[in-house]
Structure 1
């Protein structure tokens, strides 16, 4: 019955159905599940409790007849005074000249609108003659298109509820309704459209938050299970003793977080299923060491390994550090766009003949002519920098190789589990011992010269500095110090022997590489750059990070930039030059100076910005929910994840009758069924 067309509802004809279709409402079920996007609460509060600029409702007596002014074409302003609690309140209405004939002295009137506490004035959006008692306290407000009005849609929804609500099936087993004290589906739908009070609305929303998260988690986890079973990998029988020996040869001890992540990776490698794991770790937390042990384990199992990174300079740095780490235990090659001709041909032959154990490179690794003898372990660093197709192309070079994605963007665990639901997630949330914490300070614009003097002093001691700007060239719209202008200023300011470099997104790749190389080799002491410097280049000599207009960046981005320094054994500093006008900007600066823990920062960032901004609008991994919000409802998300896991592990969807409605709903989802096919 619920899959019938909306035209079955009295009063819904062809034209009306077309308007509803603009909202993706085609069936009665679509209509019942089209919830209001906000609720207007008509609650009369004492004047003392009204908040400036809020939407409020007041009730009072009209003190004098309204005065009407006309200005411009068909524009009018109606003003009158009402007495509320013995206080004279000015009421203003725009473009409602007709109301002059309806409102008279001594009328009791209920007004809703924007409250101005300073002027004791209300700008009226709605009014009603008579007292407020018989007015519904909470009014649903729907998102509308076409010729639809709120009143018309509300009436149609009410008819649908009267006729079809009894048909709505319950999809959650009774135990969840009882355990979480949430209403059954029918009651929750009725309450979402026509709430009796705030408490009932709160419980109805809680019900749908849990339901949306549970369905999403079930889809993710079922897909992961099915994908895993469909991709029987090659279990890697690595040499445990050799791996142990390799770890002991390190000049440092692994942290507990590194050990835990490593165990998860090695356990994946032993299993018959292909590994699909995300390794998250703050800048400098030691992800590369963990990845190197995984590569070594794969070599002892007779396989080859590949590490793909976004830039050539990063590939070179990984190559140098792995050469040092592996010594004579493996043959390592570097394959980037710069490797051409005879040298490239040689590497390709060695890869195909298994004379190379590990290859490190950029996009060059996924060219058609790159073939492996037996690729068993693939690492993709800063995985969000590569498209899905690029990641898949490297994976397809082997026969179901284990894949490890790495990222230094600390994503809150809850969100990582949601956005990367088809991956297992390992987290390194502990820093190696002895690493000096980066001193972070917030300075105003007028202190910039002091900051430059500090840079000069440190450079004289053989150190280097980054100066980061948000824009490349001056913009009329934003009063931001731009990189090009700042570069010229610094060239003028510093003595000639102190070399200043400039890097930004409009430079060609080889120009960027060249500037970065000069900086890495200390031919350039101060690097002025836009945020293209973010990703992983290791310059242990750089000890100062100055970020201009720091309030323009999100917390996670500021933290990523701060992580470019503090890589050597000298004390490092991050100076945030900012003059934020709003509270959010000030809060960001305060948080940055108080903590260097990336995961703590990312939780705060998420609260300040929301998940869309966090991942970028086009991140397909972040789903859009009707009622649920991943930031505010993260506890419910975690609960739903645990419940979904239990259902799948115990096969409840297929063996317990109480769960069959849930399974039926999952199987009817086209996104889900297409993926299963």
Structure 2
């Protein structure tokens, strides 16, 4: 097959160039054809008399001098050349391409593209052609290339690759799908995404490739779900609906409509013969713990044990307390297992757990230690699941015979990311706060208003309430981070000599952090100065004020998580953002924070501002890298692809009819069906 031929089949690619192309992931003709442009330039010359400061320009001119090259910061370089464009002499500045000096000889005609600085009469060059302007194509593709490979040269390679391999390009999509969405064929799309004749053609090529990328990914996800369900038979749990109704009726508050809907989805999962694999999203304070309590009670009614795993000891203790209150009148045996539980007390819990005398166990990662055995584990709930590694979550699941699994998170995940990163799970979301909850009032102030902020802080503490003061974590240096917190801590101690001020940061041991948080939750500390380590933390209903220094350094999701530490009691709560953002993006984040308390709305805005890669951080591998598709801009295509994939995988025809043969073949080559399943 011509597509599998090595790239050195193309004329002009020798050993050195082949190595350079290999380093970009281009090994075959197919790789070359699927190495798409990252942007395009309209291929027409700019008239310097018409362009404005900051515009992108394309200019043709003659080099007037031997370029000057300056090196800085090690290997970085700045090349400056004088170029005569018509009768106007301009500067061309080219960064990190010092090797061009040899080619840019006086009198040489060049074509440059880049950003125009009207004041300095300078173009900061993105792209340079060592020749006259050529209007052979209206839209010019620009590729992400490494030093030593030129745009013009690479476009020539693409042309050769198209001649060699385009006829062998396999069509994966069934004809009826292409017809339904009026999509280009694969060959048309590949040809047009590299060399579009006009913007309409480019749009259609991109539309076809985006849909295919997202459909293939969603097919894997939906096939994985089907595979998981069929190969991990759960146990259909039979429990008394009346008993459960009675328990909900005895709660000291009414469930919201959203909580009722979520509960219905979870209870349906428990009754089904398939193992539950569900993610429960709910904003801070939306009432996920109550849902967890009702779900655990349902499992106990069905004759099973339930486990609730949380990231910290103090959180485990608070969940334990909540469960004891919520299930007080139901004669349920609940125990707590953390690293603090030692000796005879631990042995007693382990033997009762194994015998089945303990029906619900709450704990930290202590629950997954080897000597922890259950009598009949039927339900595992993990709170703040992203704080546990895949192996830790899997270890707890393995303690039972296909127990139902519910993951809970207070991090509102945008819909597109939820569909993508957790596509193999069912997703439920609590989208409203319980009745009577007062929205947190959020204010954005400048540094100059610090004295007024301190005055307000004094007023809240004097009224018997508590406050958090958060300083940003400066990533370049842990020492700087701690120093920053220590400085603020000293300042607060100096300002408020009559109150107890606590200090917390990432350099403390887990035991030290637990001690500080316990003192704060018991009101032995009135003001807690901390880095973001309190982000996912404990419930301190008496804390009514959150002050965040340098708030512009944080993303919206993180600011919202921090704000959610207050507003848990009956008092009106406040969040004060101290920020002097320089960028429009920073100002926009501050404005959005003061306008809404809706975590889901904030997460969508955050995704648009920061992009999907930064939303979960580098450690999250749940977000795939697509070649063309963009999860923010292509969210409608993602939803269509997800719905189509779901329908295909669940239909008999997908697994039997010739129209789907190529897609079936694609799936059968994917490792997840043969090997390790995703967690």
TM-score by length of structure 1 reads 0.92
Following superposition, the deviation at residue 263 of structure 1 comes to: 0.7
> Aligned pair in 2 of structure 1 residues 253, 171: CA closer, same or farther (>3 Å)?
same
Bigger mean CA deviation after superposition, 305-314 or 74-83: 74-83
Task: Give the drift of 1:185.
Answer: 0.4
For structure 1, list consecutive stretches of 5 or more residues without a partner in the other structure: none
Which residue of the partner structure matches residue 353 of structure 1?
355
Separation of aligned partners in 2, 1:460 and 1:418: 48
TM-superposed CA distance for 1:79, in Å, is 2.6
Tell me which residue corresponds to 2:578. 577
CA contact (8 A) 1:381 1:406 kept: yes
Cα distance in structure 2, aligned partners of 1:492 and 1:476: 24
> Structure 1 residue 181: deviation in Å?
2.8
Counterpart of 2:497? 495
Give me the whole-angstrom Cα distance separating, in 2, the residues matched to 1:204 and 1:454: 58
Alpha-carbon deviations, 1:130-161, whole Å to 9, x = none? Answer: 6x563433333333358544344332321221
Partner of residue 642, structure 2: 641
Question: In structure 2, what is the Cα distance between the partners aligned to 1:34 and 1:82?
Answer: 34
Distance 1:419 1:676 in 2: 14
User: Compared with structure 1, are the counterparts of its residues 415 and 29 closer, same or farther at alpha carbon in structure 2 (3 Å cutoff)?
Assistant: same
Gaps of 5+ in 2: 72-76, 95-99
> Paired residues, what number?
665
Residue 472 of structure 1 contacts residue 504 of structure 1 at CA under 8 Å; is this kept in 2?
Answer: no
Aligned counterpart, 2:198: 197
2:663 is aligned to 662
Distance 2:153 2:602 in 1: 46
Distance 1:488 1:650, change over 3 A: same
Q: Deviations over 1:182-215 (max 9, x none)?
A: 2110011111222222221222111111111000
CA distance in 1, matches of 2:590, 2:608: 15
Normalised TM-score (structure 2): 0.92
Q: Which of the numbers 416, 426, 429 marks the counterpart of 1:427?
A: 429
Q: 2:82 is matched with which residue?
A: 79
**Is the partner of 1:518 in helix, strand or coil?**
helix
- Map 1:147-546 → 2, pairs under 5 A: 148-329=149-330, 330-471=332-473, 482-496=484-498, 498-546=499-547
In the other structure, the counterpart of 1:90 is: 90
State yes or no: 1:102 paired with 2:107: yes
- What is the alpha-carbon distance in structure 2 between the residues aligned to residue 165 and residue 5 of structure 1? 15
How has the CA–CA distance of structure 1 residues 480 and 176 changed in structure 2, closer, same or farther, with 3 Å as cutoff?
farther
For structure 1, which segment, 30-39 or 241-250, has the greater mean C-alpha deviation from structure 2 after superposition?
30-39
Distance 1:153 1:674 in 2: 38
C-alpha displacement of 1:655: 2.8
Asked if 2 retains the 8 angstrom alpha-carbon contact of 1:77 and 1:97, the reply is no
Kindly report the root-mean-square deviation, in angstroms, between the aligned alpha carbons of the 2 structures. Answer: 2.7
Q: Distance in 2 between matches of 1:652 and 1:308?
A: 42
Instruction: State how 1:584-663 maps to structure 2 within 5 Å.
Output: 584-663=585-664
Q: Who is 1:66 aligned against?
A: 64
Q: Which residue of 1 aligns with 2:74?
A: none
CA contact (8 A) 1:473 1:485 kept: no
**1:508 Cα deviation from its structure 2 partner:** 1.1
The alpha-carbon deviation at position 528 of structure 1 amounts to 0.4
1:56 is the counterpart of 2:54 = no
Q: Distance in 2 between matches of 1:52 and 1:651?
A: 60
What whole-Å deviation, never above 9, does each CA across 1:44-84 have from its counterpart, x for those lacking one?
35557635344311468x8xx93557677999854354348
Residues 82 and 89, structure 2, Cα contact 8 Å, conserved in 1: no
Does residue 41 of the first structure (1) align with residue 39 of the second (2)? no
Write the distance in 1 (CA, Å) between the matches of 2:43 and 2:479.
40
CA contact (8 A) 1:472 1:484 kept: no
SS at match of 1:544: strand
Work out the CA distance in 2 between the residues paired with 1:480 and 1:90.
Answer: 49
Change (3 A) 1:488 1:127: same
Q: Deviations over 1:255-304 (max 9, x none)?
A: 11111111110000011111010000000111111111110000000111
What whole-Å deviation, never above 9, does each CA across 1:79-133 have from its counterpart, x for those lacking one?
A: 354348xxx46354776586565369xxxx8653331123444456536776x56
Work out the CA distance in 1 between the residues paired with 2:148 and 2:675: 35
- Displacement of 1:637: 0.7
1:474–1:481 contact (8 Å) kept in structure 2: no
Q: Return closer, same or farther for 1:26/1:674 CA change in 2, 3 Å cut-off.
A: farther
Once residues 365 and 601 of structure 1 are traced to their aligned partners in structure 2, the CA distance between those partners, rounded to angstroms, is 34
Structure 1 range deviating more: 92-101 or 535-544: 92-101
Q: Following TM superposition, by how much is the alpha carbon of 1:312 offset from its aligned partner in structure 2, in angstroms?
A: 0.6
Pair 48,554 (structure 1): closer, same or farther in 2 beyond 3 Å: farther
The whole-number CA distance in structure 1 between the counterparts of 2:475 and 2:101 is 48
Q: 1:178 to 1:481 in 2, by over 3 A?
A: farther
The change in CA–CA distance for 1:93 and 1:362 in structure 2 (over 3 A counts) is closer
Partners of 2:258 and 2:509 lie apart in 1 by: 39
Alpha-carbon shift at residue 227 of structure 1 (Å) = 1.0
Whether 1:4 aligns to 2:5 is yes
Between the aligned partners of 1:676 and 1:387, the Cα distance in structure 2 is: 15
**Helix, strand or coil for the counterpart of 1:482?**
helix
Instruction: Give 1:13 shift.
Output: 5.1
Cα deviation code 1:497-530 (max 9, x no counterpart): x100011111111111111111111111000011
Cα distance between partner residues in 1 of 2:348 and 2:473: 43
